[in-house]
């Protein structure tokens, strides 16, 4: 059996597959050549970069499609389903890393690191005092309100960190549209005597009253557009480490340019790589190139979990 890990796989995962007798190819095949070269492989492993399209699936003899990560939006699930090709992913492995990136952006914005890191290499000597003044308008996360939209695995990790920082947490469970308190988490916080309000809230309450708003909905359906942005505080900070399409980029760009909200932390883009640099050039944004799951720990867990799933499926 031959496996193509087209966006790579952690060495530990690769070893598990090779020890199980699979031939693992990690040389990347360009997207445009995949349709003609996929017949050589029994399994394809992808991250988000490679698109497993209908044409590729139909041209293949694939026995399994494996996503080394969470999102399945780059895989044509309908065609895979129609042809009876199973699709596996690793929904748990990267939650903590994504949640930590949310706070990397939150801290970067709160202490203006995103700005000083851009300016200091060129002007750190000459404009030290001015920069110190600009970056002295920082604030602590403690005591601020974190609004979490979407309360699956990642949203819950974000809540845990926020609580640890002494933030107030408001949750809107977008998927089920339920405002129920997530009982176990609430109980856990109560036992540990955290001063926290963790409760499901109607979306408008989360939008209108949160200092930070972090989105963790599944899929790439738009959640934040012009209307939602207009409901946020002028000082609000929007964090998107979910999917590009979840926030309307044009509306976000406009809202920040017009000072309707203060800042955004953005890890994901409507198109990757982005087709225009509107958001990239905005002053009040902390940016990263879709690296939520890209930590050594997450990729190790992803690699091992996925390899074990593949072996279990095919042996």
Tell me if residue 105 is catalytic: no
Q: Compare residues 94 and 156 and give the one whose CB is closer to ligand 3PG.
A: 94
| Annotated catalytic residue, options 35, 100, 222, 272 | 272
For ligand 3PG, the closer CB: 96 or 145 = 96
Q: Which two tokens stand for residue 293?
A: 């799951």
Cβ pair 98, 150 in contact under 8 A: no
Give me the least distance between CB of 272 and ligand 3PG, in Å please: 9
308 labelled catalytic = no
> In this structure, are strands 199-200 and 263-266 parallel, antiparallel, or unpaired?
unpaired
Catalytic residue among 243, 249, 270, 305: 243
**What is the DSSP secondary-structure string of 136-163?**
T----STT-EEEEE--SHHHHHHHHHHH
**Minimum CB–partner distance for residue 92 and ligand 3PG (Å):** 11
Neighbours of 216 (CB within 10 A): 30
CA 111 distance to own-chain centroid: 22
d(CA 224, CA 153): 20
Provide the 8-state DSSP code for 75: B
Q: How far is the CB of 54 from ligand 3PG (least distance, A)?
A: 20
Beta carbon nearer to ligand 3PG, 200 or 245: 245
Residue nearest to ligand 3PG (CB): 69
CB nearer ligand 3PG, residue 47 or residue 260: 47
Q: How far is the CB of 294 from ligand 3PG (least distance, A)?
A: 5
Which is the catalytic residue, given 157, 290, 301, 305? 290
For residues 99 and 161, give the distance between their C-alpha atoms in angstroms, rounded to a whole number.
8
For the CB of residue 21, give the shortest distance to ligand 3PG in the complex, in Å.
26
Contacting residues for 7 by C-beta, under 8 A, at least 6 apart: 28, 45, 46, 47, 48, 49, 50, 68
268 vs 188: CA distance, rounded Å: 31
Give first-to-last CA distance, the chain, whole Å: 10
- 290 has catalytic annotation: yes
Binding site for ligand 3PG (CB under 6 A): 47-48, 69-71, 94, 290, 292-294
Residue with Cβ nearer ligand 3PG (224 or 306): 306
Q: What are the catalytic residues?
A: 243, 272, 290
């Amino acid at each position: 059996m031959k496996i193509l890990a087209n966006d790579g796989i952690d060495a530990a995962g690769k070893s598990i597959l090779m020890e199980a007798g699979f031939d693992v190819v990690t040389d990347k095949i360009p997207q445009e050549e995949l349709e003609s070269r996929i017949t050589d492989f029994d399994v394809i492993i992808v991250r988000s970069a490679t698109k497993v399209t209908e044409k590729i699936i139909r041209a293949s003899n694939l026995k399994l499609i494996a996503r080394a990560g969470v999102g399945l939006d780059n895989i044509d699930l309908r065609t895979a389903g129609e042809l009876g090709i199973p699709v596996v992913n690793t929904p748990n492995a990267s939650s903590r890393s994504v949640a930590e990136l949310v706070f990397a952006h939150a801290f970067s914005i709160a202490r203006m690191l995103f700005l000083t890191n851009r300016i200091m290499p060129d002007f750190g000597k000459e404009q030290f005092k001015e920069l110190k003044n600009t970056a002295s308008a920082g604030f602590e996360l403690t005591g601020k309100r974190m609004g979490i939209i979407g309360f699956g695995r990642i949203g819950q990790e974000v809540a845990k960190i926020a609580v640890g920082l002494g933030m107030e947490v408001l949750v809107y469970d977008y998927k089920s549209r339920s405002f129920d308190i997530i009982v176990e988490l609430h109980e856990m916080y109560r036992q540990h005597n955290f001063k926290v309000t963790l409760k499901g809230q109607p979306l408008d309450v989360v939008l209108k009253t949160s200092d930070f708003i972090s989105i963790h909905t599944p899929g790439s359906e738009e959640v934040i557009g012009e209307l939602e942005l207009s409901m946020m505080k002028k000082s609000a900070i929007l964090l998107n480490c979910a999917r590009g399409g979840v926030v309307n980029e044009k509306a976000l760009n406009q809202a920040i340019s017009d000072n309707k909200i203060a800042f955004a932390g953005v890890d994901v883009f409507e198109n990757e790589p982005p087709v225009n640099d509107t958001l990239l050039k905005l002053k009040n944004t902390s940016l990263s190139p879709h690296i939520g799951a890209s930590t050594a720990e997450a990729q190790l867990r992803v690699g091992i979990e996925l390899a074990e799933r593949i072996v279990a499926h095919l042996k």
